[in-house]
Amino acid sequence: MSVATELRAPVKPGLEPRKILGPAGNGARVAEEPKRKKEGAVKKAEKPKRLVAQVPAGVVQGNVSVDSVRSLDSCSSGGSCGKRVDDKRRVKRNGLKSAKVVPDGGVRALLPTSVLAPVKRCDWITPNSGPRYTAFHDEEWGVPVHDDWRLFQLLILSQALAEHTWPTILNKIDAFSKLFENFDPSSIAKFTEKKILSLGANGSTLLSEPKLRAIVDNANHLLKVQQEFGSFSKYCWHFINQKPIRNGFRYARQVPAKTPKSEVISKDLMQRGFRCVGPTVIYSFMQVAGMTNDHLVTCFRYNECNNYFRKDLEPKLEERDSPANSSENTSQSHD
């Protein structure tokens, strides 16, 4: 045996290579190795999880609801897709079950865009219109009125349009009501000259003195109309055969300021002694009293005002077709 052979050190199997000094020395590096190996072993022992893209609550993407995404996740992680424990999560063949979680936006967030669109009103209602003016359009303007007190109130307010606008009148409606004794024609007809002068002094910001005198005179003539026709309502509506005129205007520029019918009513009122009742004033009165439906056909109130007339007409038709009235008409025909 040679000397070279005897001095060669045998190579041991599995001998680790010499560790390199780190910033903290071999001691620190050697201490970290077992910890890293242990953490790696734990990660290998854990079962890998399938990542599912996060879907916002209540939002359906790609025709798959949140519940269906959860069901698909359970299938991929070893669950049985054919037999699910919760039948409510089952996806139907004819459609997917909608998400149960409502987003922060509430129910409106789940509605289609067409439903969320604002309602269409007449062009004289703008985004800058006040809530009272908008409510006046949505609830009062164009609704058929048959009450004498209400008709006289609307006639006075229509006369005030010569000096004010509807928004101004609506904002001062309480002052108008106080000025004209809650629009009672019998009370206004008793106003004396002294009362009229005091109204002109106190209510100068509302109406001029000639307009106040005209309203007092109109109250007296209205009482005469009630005696002749039974009610001021019957007098007003008999000009249009007791049913409102339905104008199918599409654009605001098509709505007239006066019509031949308003000219006829204006002329008859003037012959009876009424004042400040020109064709333009009367047509504004007809519009607000629902004698004519001048809501644009694109406005949501157009059909609703027509429905008001149908509901108001039904009791009259039943009364006309009742057995008592039919027998009375038969006896009159025999006579």
Residues of the binding site for Zn(2+):
122, 137, 295, 299
Q: Mutual orientation of helices 148-160 and 209-229 as an angle, nearest 10°?
A: 150
* Nearest in space to 269 (alpha carbons), one of 155, 189, 183, 171: 155
Q: What is the DSSP string of 150-175?
A: HHHHHHHHHHHTTTS-HHHHHHTHHH
Specify the DSSP element, H or E, that contains 116: helix 113-116
Please give the Cα distance from 126 to 120 (Å, whole number).
10
Please give the Cα distance from 332 to 1 (Å, whole number).
155
Point out the annotated binding site: 122, 137, 295, 299
Q: What is the DSSP string of 265-320?
A: HHHHHHHTT--S--HHHHHHHHHHTTSEE-S-TTSTHHHHHHHHHHHHHHHHHHHH
Q: What is the DSSP string of 10-21?
A: PPPTTPPPPPPP
First to last CA, the chain: 160
| Sign of torsion over alpha carbons 240, 242, 248, 249 | positive
